[in-house]
Amino acid sequence: MSEVADVGSTESEVATLTQRLIKLDTTNPPGNETLAAELLRDYLEAAGVECQLFARVPERANLVARIPGRGSGPTLALLSHTDVVLADANDWERDPFGGDLVGDTIWGRGALDMKGEVAASAVALATLARDGWRGDGDLIFVAAADEEVGAGFGLQWLVEEHPDAVRADFSINEGAGDRVELGGKVLYLCATAEKMSSPFVLRVHGRAGHGAMPSIADNALVKAAPFIERLGVFDVEPRLIPEVEGFLAALLGEVPPATDALARAREIAPLAGELIEPLLGMTVAPTKAHASDKRNVIPALCEITVDTRLLPGQTPEEAEATIRAWLGEGEYELVNTERFGGTRSAIDGPLWDAVRSFVESEEPDAAPAPICVAGFTDSHWMREAFDTVAYGFFPSRAMDSETAARLIHSANERVPVSDLELGVRWLRHAAQTVCG
């Protein structure tokens, strides 16, 4: 038996495992996630859970653990990642790799993103296994490497090279779970969809010349300026995607017309407006500009990078047409440089029912509300490869969502132990209801 498995309560068990994970430096790059994978394997095997390590390179292992089902019921995967982003100890009040427990709170890099959820998932499996629980379908736990950089050592690689190890009908990952109070209504946000990142480059051509004689050149930087200004006030007709309809229904008890949605949400609470505003249409933001490399050379070319986020279901081709229509006629090129994410899962079925029944059992007056997240997580690999119903839902209520958002990828990241214990209960509930 490992020392952790002997600890009495679920709360101390998940706290101890979180602390031990934080003490392993898995800063990516370089990652070294094998440290975490081996700790989790030792912990889970002591509870009788089958584990396998899959590694493209030895120091960057992914752990896949499984409680096999009795029959052919649905498979649920608990997804997580063990790498963390850089922490500069000078900015912290405590050692970012110390895992200090201060009162009810564990401090350290990864406490929120996401070694706390890694530990909660492992404890959910270990306690279910010790209880002798088996579902009708398999329960899988994936502690993947390399989510923060995405260089092909983590879930993307597993899905491509070891699909049988990670294939699942349903999955639960990071992404949401925040408890928000909006105008007296308590909602737990569940991420059921993700926007697509689809950046463009806007190119404007001119004619080079000496900076001392501007009149005989044709300055591409100056010619680009009106396009940048125009993109700065980009606006589209609002439309309601199913996730926003579901959110508004939970918030207002009805779904207003798209043109009234923002005003109605803001009326309830400013935060409600902030949550849905970027989800009412595609967004564009000019973020980078490149023209001349030399102070005294008038540029013949100016390139503007336009960060562009699409609603799930929208395509870069549709976005290009919309941006061109907004900019109007003119001498410019517009080139799509990437398409990433933009997937969604249905807001109904067994996993949604599990979210709802958990929220209602925790707080009878609260309701779950779907949300589409602006960024993306590993969930999209599962949706794309296996058509998995993938949600981001790890409930938190001891720490409010604005505080948590400020701490993720930042200094003094920390997590209340009571939220980790809440997370263990949620993951056990999900396994017991979804796997049958």
Residues at the site binding Zn ion, with contacts judged by CB under 5 A: 113-114
Q: Which of 113, 138, 147, 421 is catalytic?
A: 147
Angle at 135 between CA 130 and CA 138, to 5 degrees: 100
3-state percent breakdown (helix, strand, coil) of the chain, nearest 5: 40, 25, 35
Nearer to Zn ion by C-beta: 85 or 327?
85
Nearer to Zn ion by C-beta: 113 or 178?
113
Nearest distance from residue 272's CB to Zn ion, in Å?
25
User: Which of these, 432, 330, 400, 22, lies nearest to 186 by C-alpha position?
Assistant: 400
Residue count of the chain, please give it: 436
Nearest distance from residue 114's CB to Zn ion, in Å?
5
Q: Tell me the C-alpha to C-alpha distance, in Å, between residue 165 and each of 40, 53, 179, 393.
A: 17, 10, 33, 22
Nearer to Zn ion by C-beta: 46 or 411?
411
Q: Which of 83, 138, 169, 421 is catalytic?
A: 83
HSE, side-chain direction, 13 A CA sphere, residue 129: 24
- Distance in angstroms (rounded) separating the CA atoms of residues 424 and 194: 25
Structure tokens at 8: 């009495």
Look up 91 and say whether it is catalytic: no
Nearer to Zn ion by C-beta: 175 or 286?
175
Nearest distance from residue 174's CB to Zn ion, in Å?
5
Q: Which residue blocks in 78-232 are alpha helix, DSSP H?
A: 116-130, 155-161, 163-166, 220-232
Nearer to Zn ion by C-beta: 386 or 394?
394
- Distance in angstroms (rounded) separating the CA atoms of residues 112 and 114: 5
Nearer to Zn ion by C-beta: 13 or 83?
83
Nearer to Zn ion by C-beta: 112 or 422?
112
Nearest distance from residue 346's CB to Zn ion, in Å?
24
Extract the runs of DSSP E, i.e. beta strands, from 6-109. Answer: 50-55, 61-67, 76-81, 101-102, 105-107
- Distance in angstroms (rounded) separating the CA atoms of residues 397 and 390: 22
Per-residue b or e along 148-177, where b marks 16 or more CB atoms closer than 10 Å to that residue's CB: beeeebbbbbbbeeeeebbbbbbbbbbbbb
Per-residue b or e along 319-346, where b marks 16 or more CB atoms closer than 10 Å to that residue's CB: bbebbeeebeeeebebebeebebbbbbe
Which residue's Cβ lies closest to Zn ion?
Answer: 113
Structure tokens at 216: 């005989």
Nearest distance from residue 371's CB to Zn ion, in Å?
17
Structure tokens at 382: 């599962």
Nearest distance from residue 84's CB to Zn ion, in Å?
8
Nearest distance from residue 81's CB to Zn ion, in Å?
6
Look up 83 and say whether it is catalytic: yes
Mind telling me the catalytic residues?
83, 147
